[in-house]
Amino acid sequence: MTTTLDTAAQRVRNTEISLAQAVNRALRDAMTADDKVVVFGEDVGVLGGVFRVTDGLTRDFGEQRCFDSPLAEAGIMGTAIGMAMYGFRPVVEMQFDAFAYPAFEQIASHLAKMRNRTRGTLPLPVVVRVPYGGGIGGVEHHSDSSEGYFAATPGLHVVTPATVSDAYTLLRAAIESDDPVIFMEPKRLYWSKDVLETSGPAIGTAAVRRQGTDATLIAYGPTVSTALEAADAAAAEGFDLEVVDLRSIVPFDDETVCESVRKTGRAVVIHEAAGFGGTGAEIAARVSERCFHWLEAPVRRVTGFDIPYPPPKLERHHLPSVDRILDVVASLQWEDR
């Protein structure tokens, strides 16, 4: 027998929410589950953040649990480290990607190293939320893709969701982790909507978003939707492309990625950050080392250009696009085409 309560619960489950709302829900549920979870950063309190991701948290949990900080990223990070040493689970927001750079010394020297420095006796369960990437018409210092800096710092986990459900489940997993997690939020996907599924993967697990046989597109965060769009467009040209969403950059899911590439024999890595020294170079190296005898062509990359982020009117030329991806796919040594 179906009750009114069952019907209401089903309606909630079937309601689409935005990725920003999924992050808010994850924070809210984590704060409800554990009173040691605290949220702070620039304008995250009464305002609810510049993207309204923390909207309502101060109202519902009070100023001791969600509060505004001074405009001092190094101070935010240092405070979070100190609070974690005394048993809290801080979740801090860097208002924009490039705003995190003043905090990087604290992150690299202390957040990433404390557990190792103390031989495991002092973990730092800190989550650093970083809205990142372009596609919103933002100017310099508001559109960087800084994941490579964090991924190259041993001791940090680096994750980035591309779907509403992953935004929720990965953030809940990050908050529960005893290791520090850099949680990269693709800001141009904040307004994307889907039905929320609250059960999901552990950190370090990639997902095959589209099955294919001809080549593998490897993407994460904001470029996953671009890769899926490119795969759909490629089908009209006779290419059957598989799309792998990394979800987690560190730890890296070699098993899922390599299983896909060994099946298709070709790989293209896609990200918004500059190509030189970027995360894609590490991914290409890992794939080449592990899949060498299965590769029909060199691993290729489609990335942002090796320049500072351009002005808003030019960003469409800088960001990986469907056309750029298709051009690279067409160059992958197709002897039978």
Quote the CA–CA distance of 51 and 299 in Å, as a whole number: 36
For residue 288, which amino acid is it? S
Q: Which two tokens stand for residue 246?
A: 């990394």
Q: Which two tokens stand for residue 31?
A: 């704060």
Q: Parallel, antiparallel, or unpaired for β 207-210 and 37-41?
A: unpaired
142 is catalytic: yes
For residue 298, which amino acid is it? P
Cα distance between the two ends of the chain: 59
Crossing angle of helices 254-264 and 279-291, in 10° steps, is 60
- Catalytic residue chosen out of the listed positions 110, 141, 142, 317: 142
Q: Parallel, antiparallel, or unpaired for β 300-304 and 127-132?
A: unpaired
Q: Label residues 283-296 b or e (16+ Cβ within 10 Å = b).
A: bbebbeeebeeebe
State the catalytic residues: 142
